[in-house]
Amino acid sequence: MSGRILVVDDVKANVRLLEARLGAEYFEVRSAVSGAQALEILADWPCDIVLLDVMMPGLDGFEVCRRIKTDPRLAHIPVVLITALDRSEDRIRGLRAGADEFLTKPVNDVALVARVRNLIGLKRLTDELRLRAQTGSQFGLSSDFDPAGEMPASLLIVDDRPTSAERLAGALSRDYDVAVEPSAAQALLSASNGAYDTILINLRMASYDALRLVSQLRSLDRTRLVPIVLIADADDTGRVTRALDLGVNDHVVRPIDKTELAIRVRTQVSRKRAIDRLSADVEQTLAMAVTDPLSGLRNRRYLETHLASELRQAVEADLPLALMLVDIDHFKRVNDLHGHDAGDGVIRDVARRLRSHTRSLDLACRFGGEEFVMLMPETDLEKAAGIAERLRKIIESEPFRLPSADEILVTVSIGVAVFQGSGDSGSAMLKRADQALYRAKAGGRNRVELEAGEGASAQPLTGGTSGRTARIG
């Protein structure tokens, strides 16, 4: 994985060493010799990560990090503080300034490269989600949905050493809902079924290889993006480096400072919820892009893609496929007599009835205007005719309530077509259904017609108006 790295250090020898090491891994590296210069470069050069020395004249690393993390344009860029300071209070100060990692000199080259790759990978995932969400927002498709809400965060501690697990739970249970699981197998099951915001794993579990558990968690869709924090010992550098390659987000070294642990966990929880929010926005944006806003049904764009997929499956599995085209009778008259709000209400109610009286494998779409399409897999012509007639009767039987509190009776005409085999196409099916629909309209409306002229006519309407109920069609 390549990427752009900004190295900030007032000692040129340190800069040259980092440039050489990172350049050997094919990273694109730029350097700055002061905090002020670093901020100037970041304003014009979009990098993937900043490696920042702490002890510099003028703006020190803590202040530069704070300014990066409080700038909305730069806050998503990971910052790694590199310093000779090794006290717990120095690490805590750096983490509080917003640093993503705090490395003490001399830095192990392998560990540095692993951490850089790890943070760049996480940034690119977030960047992709942000870009998709921003694209949807530009088209007015963004969502205000917040999956986090006010619910407290949930943590899972995986540790088969009771004393160690008890200490971790005690340090975190005041601020989080904490679950402890000593069994790796049960932890994997619990994590895949649960909704944890962060998972903490003891790297030195006695009964199971913690790195294998990390790999398994990263292989499951449900847990792929859940942050993982390792609890390691000072001499676990090699295994921590391997864990970073496997996708671990962070680690805490024993003896554990409770404040440092709390800050690192809070950072991971915040990131998880930010990613959840972005993912929800993206999913909502995609759903809205293929959903008709008035009826709530899938739109014509989605139908075209889905119909092509269903045609392929029908050919491969040698199964029937039916399609019906539904048109509201005399819809223009509804708009002319009762207004467009009434017409919109009729469209929504027809859509509701179509959706609530079809199988889960069927697809109802708004085709345009007052027309709807129902796609029915594993359905032959005879069965489709029965379904169409049942839907016709359901729509006819119940009055539609208007915004004015009046009620009207609305009817539909339906044309039905079926897949004719590997030489057939979606556009041809729609054309045959449209021709059948035209015959239903010409035959008096409120009826079902099948392709090839085989009709299943509805009974004519009987009776007159009752009370404030008007009859349309």
Query: Is 128 a known active-site residue?
Result: no
Closest Cα partner for 225 from 282, 274, 157, 285? Answer: 274
CB of 340 within 8 A of CB of 370? Answer: no
Whether omega before 255 lies within 30 degrees of 0, making that bond cis, reads yes
Q: How far apart are alpha carbons 374 and 115 in whole angstroms?
A: 52
What's the gap between Cα 209 and its chain centre? 31
The token pair at 83 is 């310093």
Token look-up 């990978």 returns 121
Q: How far apart are alpha carbons 126 and 138 in whole angstroms?
A: 18
Angle 116-82-3 (CA atoms, 0-180°, nearest 5)? 25
Q: Looking at 370, 396, 449, 451, which residue is catalytic?
A: 370
* Amino acid identity for residue 111 in this structure: A
Helices (H), 318-417: 331-338, 340-356, 381-397
Helix 300-317 and helix 426-442, axial crossing angle in degrees, nearest 10: 110
In DSSP terms, 19 is beta-bridged to: none
Q: How far apart are alpha carbons 273 and 438 in whole angstroms?
A: 53
| Long-range contacts (CB closer than 8 Å, 24 or more residues apart) made by 245-253 | 245/114, 245/117, 245/118, 246/211, 246/214, 246/215, 246/218, 247/118, 247/121, 247/214, 247/218, 248/118, 248/214, 249/118, 249/122, 250/101, 251/203
Q: How far apart are alpha carbons 253 and 419 in whole angstroms?
A: 64
Q: What is the CA radius of gyration of the chain?
A: 31
In DSSP terms, 323 is beta-bridged to: 375, 417
Q: How far apart are alpha carbons 310 and 298 in whole angstroms?
A: 15
The token pair at 106 is 């001399």
* φ/ψ of residue 117, rounded to 5: -60, -40
Q: Give the DSSP per-residue string, 404-419.
A: TS-EEE--EEEEEEE-
Q: How far apart are alpha carbons 290 and 142 in whole angstroms?
A: 14
Active site residues: 370
